[in-house]
Chains A and B, each alone.
Chain A
């Protein structure tokens, strides 16, 4: 399990990254944490001619707070994000999702941007980005481009990133208000495995913490990309999120899903469990919000 030969370059700034990626004569591939790419190369399922290591580009490594968003640099390590007070405060859903990503040692190397560009249908970070409606900021020799994550994700393991583009940062809208709550639930055979199915929910209740005024409810692992459950969301808007209402609402969710069979679970399993996990995640988000009220 040794990689095929390749060249390695380590640019120090974004301009040089874009210059390198613009050379279409050579098959370049960006490497950040490499926690997915390196095993693929070891199995020779990926064999780029050149690796462009972007982890020494300072401008990709920051977490920046603006008025409405948290901007996470593409090379921010998953473990750094997991420990970040800013993320904990403003992106509680991401904080909940991150401990489920791989295990501590892969999170020490793996990056937020790398996970999104890898576009694994079961990836927790991708699911979170879709749930929260993240925007991706890309750069190429031709200039910057911003794209909504749902437009970025094309298919399983496939994105709309161009060969000459580099992901620079991800803008997550701040979600924490005193009326908000979130839930993240996944199931896997072993704790450190990829999720078989996962559900992420971010919601807001009214001032009295009774009725749901906004909800993003998303399922990962049961289709080629994470699926926003529009029908479920619509049926819960304005509701009091009783267990019965949630149960009824998630029954719509599975219809949208087009899961695959694999050695770990059947497609039917994924459909069934997706609905159940979605219900759990909604309840978790609801309880999270209501327990917040007591805290304030």
Chain B
């Protein structure tokens, strides 16, 4: 089946089998391997991407459902090659990761939060990432990173 969509600002057109999940499409057809597969049943959040402005599970969508959509993956976060988004920079600053496997999904969830709320409480942050499981960090440095990024964004704006 022919699908056309926008991924990280680029138009792409592909023939896909209807049963191909969006995450498999991104990874295997587009070589965007930053989006990870963790559980394939919608619990872990490693495959989080932004579809039409909202963070969603790319394992819980078939690529055909994304026909016509705008998709942003971890490769599309940031302000261009070689630059980091405020969140990416903050994740590095607080070492909000260890193995790095959940990290892209976690950053996507956080980008989605900060797009709607640039002054989140710790509870807001924890609720925004509750669907993204991290096995390494215990979340504390992740919460700190998101709060730091929010602060940096607010300061840069004012």
Contacts and interface: CB of A to CB of B under 8 A. Distances in A.
Do A and B share a direct contact in the complex (Cβ within 8 angstroms)?
yes
A51 B18 CA distance: 9
A104 B128 contact: yes
Interface in B73-106: none
Contacts of A55: 65
B48 A105 contact: yes
Nearest to A77: B54
A10 interface: yes
Chain A interface extent, by class: 20 to 34
Nearest to A5: B19
Nearest to B68: A56
Contact of B18 (A8, A34, A192): A8
Contacts of B45: 105
A267 to B, nearest CB: 25
Interface string B15-59: 001110100100000000000000011100100100000111101
B146 interface: no
A34 B127 CA distance: 22
A35 B45 CA distance: 13
A42 B131 contact: no
Interface in A149-178: none
B22 to A, nearest CB: 10
B61 A109 contact: yes
A238 interface: no
B109 interface: yes
A105 B41 contact: no
A79 B41 CA distance: 20
Given A35-B60, A106-B131, A7 B18 contact: yes
A43 B43 CA distance: 14
B115 interface: no
Contacts of B112: 104
A38 interface: yes
A104 B128 CA distance: 7
Contacts of B156: none
Contact of B130 (A6, A79, A192): A192
Contact of B17 (A5, A105, A192): A5
A7 B16 CA distance: 12
A4 interface: yes
Interface in A100-121: 102-106, 108-109
B67 interface: yes
B139 interface: no
A104 B131 CA distance: 7
Given A10-B67, A105-B48, 7 more contacts: A1-B41, A39-B42, A39-B60, A104-B130, A105-B56, A109-B60, A192-B130
Interface of A: 1-8, 10, 31, 34-35, 38-39, 41-43, 51, 53, 55, 79, 102-106, 108-109, 191-192
14 contacts: A1-B41, A2-B19, A2-B24, A6-B18, A10-B64, A35-B57, A38-B62, A42-B40, A43-B41, A51-B18, A104-B128, A105-B57, A109-B60, A192-B130
4 closest A-B pairs by CB: A103-B131, A8-B18, A39-B41, A108-B54
